[in-house]
Structure 1
Amino acid sequence: MWSWHRQVKDSVSQKTIGLMRMQFWKTAIEEIYRDEPPNQPVSIELWRAAKKHQMTKRWLLRIITEREKDLDDRAYRNLQELETYAENTYSSLLYLLLECLGVKDVHADHAASHIGKAHGIVTCLRATPYHSSRRKVYLPVDICILHSASQEDIIRGSREQNIRDVVYDIASQAHVHLQHARSFSRNIPAAATPAFLQTVVLEDYLQRVRKADFDIFHPSLQKRNPLLPIQLYLRSWKKTY
């Protein structure tokens, strides 16, 4: 369901169609929690997971509602708006993962909130070259204005200093969230670690952006890091994130 929701925005040509699909899932969630799941494979599996792990309906509905608002297909007005989107989607998914892992801990919830925000910010940055190729820009408007970076500059793949300054400000905020998340690590149950291993991928991207001098269109950022599986294994083995 998560993967499908992410693709709706790019796969529909009209907002109305996207809204209809989102409404289907809103209705499906309500039916799942009445033990009347639609006769559809994903809905049935979600019903089983919700019953087994006592998943909170609020988190599922919050993800759908936020994705629905995102169908407006416009740039985020400011960094706070991007963080709100990330909290309501990526962080909500982490809360659900913690429930599936049987973790109920306030420190884990705080870490999940910050990791989700970092994930949303990094995803916005990583997707910028793809979006710009389709003449779309979602980077926070206030930061672009601050550095006199126009949407047209980003669409044509400008690698000038003002674009790098925009990327620096946004990437720095993601880094701050990762640091906050890790400040709770000593107080978080080891069982929560699998839900937080995505920090390895986020940190890897932020480091590569820094090495590229915050040139978001640098070719090196379009390549995968072959060492990531090893890094993930080591963090998993050490039960750290």
Structure 2
Amino acid sequence: MAASTVGCGWRPLQLTIPSLCGSGPGPRSMWACVRRLPGPAVTRRSVVATSGPGVSGTDHYCLELLRKRDYETYLCSLLLPAESRSSAFALRAFNVELAQIKDSVSEKAIGLMRMQFWKKTVEEIYHDNPPHQPVAIELWKAVKRHNLTKRWLMKIIDEREKNLDDKAYRNIQELENYAENTQSSLLYLTLEILGIKDLHADHAASHIGKAQGIVTCLRATPYHGSRRKVFLPMDICMQHGVSQEDFLRRNQNKNVRDVIYDIASQAHLHLKHARSFHKSVPVKAFPAFLQTVSLEHYLKKIQQVDFDIFHPSLQQKNTLLPLSLYIQSWRKSY
């Protein structure tokens, strides 16, 4: 497949899993070896018991909301240091609350009202007067505990609010801007939860967040198509002579695959840029970037199916994700 200027330099991403207990352990022995690796226990009971000062119903509510609505992030959060988990659960539950507004309302006006509720909630949190809502209460605790930057929280709300319009991104830069203001902002806040203030870590977070936003857009394409919606960048579609109708009809010709290739390549480049800071980023920041495991897995799989965005294998759950995340955490890399 010919690469366009956007996607030039694509090379397969590798997630190498070292032999932990001799040469070539099978799946069962691999799991047994991982259980013996040093590190914090990550059972659900231990997370609830050690995630913060005291266990509350609001704490458990955030954990369960994340587990049900954003399982991959839930798994990543389990591998954060114990003293940071409850705050991370609160932050990510806040994001889930915002993310599900768009799909849960039938009218934009209702969505705007809910966004306004969260804007007011954030203001009240910073005045030590959070509403009696589980996520709001836990987010208030996180803000107090880690002195989280209000600007990042408001950016997430503002960008989600603008995204209530069912319009495709005009270009890849518009998609990246959305990802920066949502996914990257979440990572900046996660770094604050971990007590990290480092320019190189921020740069890595920016690129990883953009990669996350792009991959999320790709992964959601079949779902959006089933609802007669397409959000892929229009400039890349036009460059290859592809219309929204081609995606709605699940067309699999070369031009459609070239569109996906270009978009996926942009995510690949952001991961590559993020890893270029690897030696300069504090090791304590690495747990914030564990989501690169699932990003890498998806980009590798979509390459294997020749960028067929509708291939059934792309919708299958990665059953080895918990293992891959644990190994990545143990190796202290991203």
TM-score class normalised by the smaller sequence: over 0.9
- Residue of structure 2 in register with 1:14 after alignment: 107
- Residue of structure 2 in register with 1:204 after alignment: 297
- Residue of structure 2 in register with 1:64 after alignment: 157
- Residue of structure 2 in register with 1:154 after alignment: 247
After TM superposition, the structure 1 = structure 2 runs for residues 1-241 of structure 1, keeping only pairs within 5 Å, are 1-241=94-334
- Residue of structure 1 in register with 2:45 after alignment: none
Runs of 4+ aligned residues of structure 1 deviating over 4 Å after TM superposition are none
Within 1, Cα distance between the matches of 2:212 and 2:240?
24
Within 2, Cα distance between the matches of 1:48 and 1:55?
10
Unaligned runs of 5+ in 2: 1-93
TM-aligned CA deviation for residue 39 of structure 1: 2.0
Q: Deviations over 1:198-239 (max 9, x none)?
A: 001000000000000000011111112222222111110011
Within 2, Cα distance between the matches of 1:165 and 1:8?
32
Within 1, Cα distance between the matches of 2:125 and 2:225?
38
TM-aligned CA deviation for residue 132 of structure 1: 0.3
Kindly, what percent of the aligned residue pairs are identical? 68
CA-atom RMSD in angstroms: 0.7
Q: Which amino acid aligns with 2:275?
A: R
Within 2, Cα distance between the matches of 1:62 and 1:38?
20
| Greater CA drift, 230-239 or 88-97 | 230-239
The two structures have a TM-score, normalised by structure 1, of 0.99
What is the DSSP-based 3-state SS (H/G/I as helix, E as strand, rest coil) of the residue aligned with 1:136? coil
The number of residue pairs the alignment matches comes to 241
What is the DSSP-based 3-state SS (H/G/I as helix, E as strand, rest coil) of the residue aligned with 1:240? coil
Q: Deviations over 1:100-145 (max 9, x none)?
A: 0001100000000000000000000000000001100000000011
| Greater CA drift, 42-51 or 218-227 | 218-227
Within 2, Cα distance between the matches of 1:234 and 1:43?
33
Unaligned runs of 5+ in 1: none
Q: Deviations over 1:134-170 (max 9, x none)?
A: 1000000000111111111101111111110000000
Task: Kindly indicate whether structure 1 or structure 2 has the higher relative contact order, using CA contacts under 8 Å at least 6 residues apart.
Answer: 2
The two structures have a TM-score, normalised by structure 2, of 0.71
